[in-house]
Amino acid sequence: MLAGLVSEFRARGAGACGWRLVAPVALSLLAACAPPEPLRIGFLGGISGRVADLGLGGRNAVTLAVEMRNKAGGIGGRQVELLVEDDQQDAEVARKAFARLAERKVEAVVGPMTSAMALAVVPLANDAKLLLVSPTVTTTALSGIDDQFLRVIRATTPYAQKSAGHHLHQQGSRRVAVAYDQRNQAYSESWLADYRQAFENGGGKIVAAEGFQSNEAARFDVLAAHLLEAAPDAVLLIANSVDAALLAQQLRARRPDLQLNASEWAATERLIELGGKAVEGMTMAQFIDRGSRQPAYLAFRQAYRDRFGHEPGFAGLTAFDAANVVLDGLAARREGQGLKRAILDKREFSGAQSPLRFDATGDASRETYLTVIRDGAFVRID
């Protein structure tokens, strides 16, 4: 359009003055034809290293949500652009990554994926007034606070309480030893405190609680020996999928009939892949029912598998939900209204598997399921 207009003026012999008159018109026409600036959202999670399965599942699901929204026309005629940052499960790296997203003027950040990283970046989000919507952070340290942090799952309490009840009443466990990852202390200690209260109030006893540092040098053979010295009738693992699988192998090598349980953090597909027979019979409370026949979940699961070639798992499910909360909030936001206010005013959202409802400070409720690993798969048992 612009080239044709310029050619026409040149053909008519328009002088310098004539060009000065037409240039603003031509530039205005060009601006009118240009696509509008995209809306940008960020993703922050650990997508590298030995325990990256959580972050990669989250990143993939947010990517899928953005692609689906853009295919449907975007938001208000604007496409959505996703900017991804790797926190490497390191607090200082996470803070720098968040700062880069803030500099790019993202509307919100989906993430982080672990409680330790959330505690590192929430103060920065509050200062920047930039909303974080986490798929998987459950520490109680961020509960009930009016800040720039929302999450699409509950805090640790219901998972720990449901697990304690099952261990006491269905498994008949009374003496439990616990291994917990101190690198994600905000999560693991919160989970352990909730579990201890429910388990001991029900008549059980924590006979050992061994903290460890998740890294390549971790001596799981030594840790397993220490846990078994207390003669427990069950061992609880509050750890990521890799560490839970490796520790389960060491424990079952020493006591093949030992009852093993885990927190929901361990329950990615990688746990089964790495743990094999050693994780058979392990139970955990989760916020995903992989056997669900809900049409929305089946559609999401198929779309995720078609796009990425593997199961979404719990990280994919909740990251997809978190991304859609952000996108729906942006679509519902009124002029001059902050995104957090738009989300909390809307309050209820349709998750891929179950409805989400936010309370006044941004903590969401959703269903909790008790599962067991049986024949190499997560099976719901409640």
In the chain, where are the structural domains located?
2-33, 39-154+293-367, 157-286
DSSP string for residues in 22-51: HHHHHHHHHHHHSPPPPEEEEEEE--SSTT
pLDDT for the residue numbered 14: 41
Cα–Cα nearest to 300, from 112, 92, 68, 9: 68
Question: For the domain 39-154+293-367, what is the CATH code?
Answer: 3.40.50.2300
Question: Which pLDDT band holds residue 119 (cuts at 50, 70, 90)?
Answer: very high
Tokens of 210: 């061994």
pLDDT of residue 212: 97
Tens of pLDDT, residues 95-116: 999 999 999 999 999 999 999 9
Domain pair 39-154+293-367 / 157-286, same fold? yes
Please give the share of the chain, as a percent, with pLDDT higher than 90.
Answer: 87
- Band (pLDDT 50/70/90 cuts) for residue 5 is very low
Domain at 157-286, CATH homologous superfamily: Response regulator (3.40.50.2300)
Mean pLDDT calculated for residue range 6-11: 37
Closest to 265 measured CA to CA, from 328, 151, 187:
187
**Confidence band, pLDDT 50/70/90 cuts, at residue 261:** very high
CA separation for the pair 272, 266 (Å, rounded): 10
pTM of the model: 0.89
Asked if residue 286 lies in contact with residue 314, where contact means CB atoms within 8 angstroms, the answer is yes
pLDDT band at 61 (very low <50, low <70, confident <90, very high): very high
- Higher pLDDT: 368 or 284? It is 284
The CB density around residue 84, as the number of other CB atoms within 10 Å, is 18
pLDDT for residue 34: 66
**Encoded tokens for 143:** 């509960």
Task: Report the side by side order of strands in the sheet with 364-365.
Answer: 348-350, 355-358, 364-365
Inform me whether the pLDDT recorded for 231 exceeds 90.
yes
The predicted model gives 181-197 an average pLDDT of 96
Confidence of residue 10 (pLDDT cuts 50, 70, 90): very low
Say what the pLDDT of residue 229 is: 98
First-to-last alpha carbon distance for the chain, in angstroms, is 65
Residue 16, pLDDT > 90, answer no
CB atoms within 10 A of CB 117: 29
Q: Is the pLDDT of residue 1 over 60?
A: no
Q: Using pLDDT thresholds of 50, 70 and 90, give the confidence band for residue 143.
A: very high
Q: How far is the CA of 5 from the CAs of 20, 26, 32, 131, in angstroms?
A: 13, 7, 15, 45
- The CA distance from 53 to 145, in Å, is 29
Q: How far is CA 225 from its chain centroid?
A: 33
Task: Look up residue 339 and give its two tokens.
Answer: 């995104």
